[in-house]
């Protein structure tokens, strides 16, 4: 039985997943697992999409690469998708949202995204694609939607998630007594 939860922090590129995970790692002691970095470090790619200027991840290879670690618990999984992860691995899915398209546009433009990639990500955010994927892949009670566009959002979101992590750990400690 895991003694620490696994939390997915997901959302459209530019909503603040990495910033949230880095702060949460400091606050909770959970380990930040950047799926982009894992895919690079462990060669979990199928091909390169020239139009979107991005690598396409081989999801099976990725899951095989992280399974032994993640099933032990204690990870903040940072990625723009969540529906590939087995339900049994995940205790909470946090979907970060940025409803201000101008804020998100600026964040993505600063990253140097080309117009096609920028528009695809804006459309995904506007239509709530990643929230819908999370709701279809996981039970309703483990999916949480949080805003991530104003200055104080990271702090308040992290406080809320940290509190959830502490409660999760406490409830498991009670089960072993």
Position 175 scores a pLDDT of: 67
pLDDT in tens, 108-131: 999 999 999 999 999 999 999 999
Confirm or deny that 19 is annotated as ligand binding. yes
Within 8 A by CB and 6+ apart from 153, the residues are 16, 146, 147
> For the chain, what is the total number of helices (H) and then of strands (E)?
7, 7
Q: Both tokens of residue 36? A: 């982009």
Confirm or deny that 17 is annotated as ligand binding. yes
Global confidence as pTM: 0.94
Hey, what domains does the chain have and what are their CATH numbers?
A: 7-151 (3.40.50.300)
pLDDT in tens, 41-92: 999 999 998 988 888 999 999 999 999 999 999 999 999 999 999 999 999 9
Confirm or deny that 152 is annotated as ligand binding. no
Confirm or deny that 117 is annotated as ligand binding. no
């Amino acid at each position: 039985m895991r003694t620490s939860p696994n939390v997915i922090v997901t959302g459209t590129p530019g909503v603040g997943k990495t910033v949230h995970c880095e702060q949460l790692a400091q606050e909770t002691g959970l380990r930040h697992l950047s799926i982009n970095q894992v895919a690079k470090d462990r060669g979990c790619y199928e091909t390169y999409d020239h139009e979107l200027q991005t690598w396409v991840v081989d999801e099976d290879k990725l899951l095989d690469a992280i399974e032994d670690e993640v099933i032990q618990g204690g990870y903040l999984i940072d990625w723009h998708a969540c529906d590939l992860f087995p339900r049994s691995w995940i205790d909470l899915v946090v979907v970060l949202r940025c409803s201000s398209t101008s804020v998100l546009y600026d964040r993505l433009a600063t990253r140097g995204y080309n117009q096609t990639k920028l528009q695809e990500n804006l459309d995904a955010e506007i239509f709530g694609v990643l929230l819908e994927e999370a709701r279809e892949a996981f039970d309703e009670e483990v999916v949480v939607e949080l805003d991530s566009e104003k200055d104080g959002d990271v702090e308040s979101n992290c406080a809320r998630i940290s509190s959830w992590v502490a409660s999760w750990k406490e409830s498991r400690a009670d089960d072993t007594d």
